[in-house]
Amino acid sequence: MPKSGSKDAPEEHGASAPLRRCDHPGCGEAGLFRAPRDRSLRDFLWFCLPHVRDYNKAWDYYKGMAPAEIEAHLRDDTAWQRPTWPLGRLGGAGRFDPEILRDPLGVLGAEAPTPRRRPRETHEAPPELRAALDLLGLVWPLDQGELRARYKELAKRYHPDATGGDRQAEERLKDINRAYSLLKRRVPARARATAEAEGAAAG
């Protein structure tokens, strides 16, 4: 017998309240088990155990619904009847952006993606610039033109207007701004970098 106060227990209005009778026509047993009257699931019938079993076997939640309505209902059920939005609403549909994967504690270790702009001969970056270069996905050496182009690309991607005010994107943009400011002071302009490289090769 269901516990008093449970949703399966008949309503009682005192210790000596009479039990409900089974709602099946002609049955005189106590109606201890509830079953939905319709798909709103707000109104119930009360049956004895054999009759609630029969009722449940014959119950069809989708009875009277058109196939299109059934399909729409099943689709909504995959997200628990909650609203959803399409992935990639910002134009990046189908592409994984490794920039969004942040691993400040190094939990992912060697498995974390390290984005690089293009393969080329690299030199050891100064230690104080390595984190900023990794954040922007750049390799050392680079010049102001490359730095500026990459900054514009990332600033556009993580701008609040493009991300709908996403807090994580805002924090990411702040990190990008700090990295850009640090590198801008340390990265030479293109002409100077080229001249220095040619001078080093000649010397």
Cα–Cα dist 176/128, whole Å: 15
Residue 71 domain-assigned?
Answer: no
Burial of 188 (0-12, 13-18, 19+ CB in 10 A): middle
Question: Containing domain of residue 169, as a range?
Answer: 98-202
Answer yes or no: do 185 and 112 share one domain. yes
Is 92 part of a structural domain of the chain?
no
Residue 102 shares a structural domain with residue 177: yes
151/157 Cα distance (integer angstroms): 10
| pLDDT score of 26 | 95
Smallest CA-to-CA distance from 129 within 119, 139, 120 is with 139
In the numeric block, which tokens belong to residue 9?
């227990």
Question: Given this model, what pLDDT does residue 77 score?
Answer: 85
Chain-centroid distance of CA 114 in Å reads 22
- Domain's final residue, options 65, 81, 113: 65
The number of domains in the chain is: 2
The long-range contacts involving 147-150, CB below 8 angstroms and separated by at least 24 positions, are: 147/180, 147/183, 147/184, 147/187, 150/117
70 belongs to a structural domain: no
Same domain for 47 and 112, yes or no, is no
Which residue, of 65, 89, 109, is where some domain finishes?
Answer: 65
CATH number for position 151: 1.10.287
d(CA 99, CA 142): 19
Last residue of a domain, one of 44, 65, 86: 65
* Residue-level pLDDT at 12: 47
166 and 117 share one domain? yes
Whether residue 16 lies inside any domain: the answer is yes
Distances (CA, A) of 134 to 23, 35, 106, 115, 122: 71, 61, 13, 7, 13
Give domain status of residue 78, yes or no.
no
Residues 105 and 55 in one domain: no
Provide the pLDDT for residue 202: 47
pLDDT means per 10 residues, the chain with 203 residues, are: 50 58 95 93 95 95 92 87 69 57 67 50 71 84 87 87 80 89 80 47 49
Domain membership flag for residue 120? yes
Whether residue 125 sits in one domain with residue 61: no
Predicted local distance difference test score (pLDDT) of residue 18: 64
Q: Answer yes or no: do 103 and 198 share one domain.
A: yes
Task: Specify whether 46 is located in the same domain as 136.
Answer: no
Answer yes or no: is 86 within a domain: no
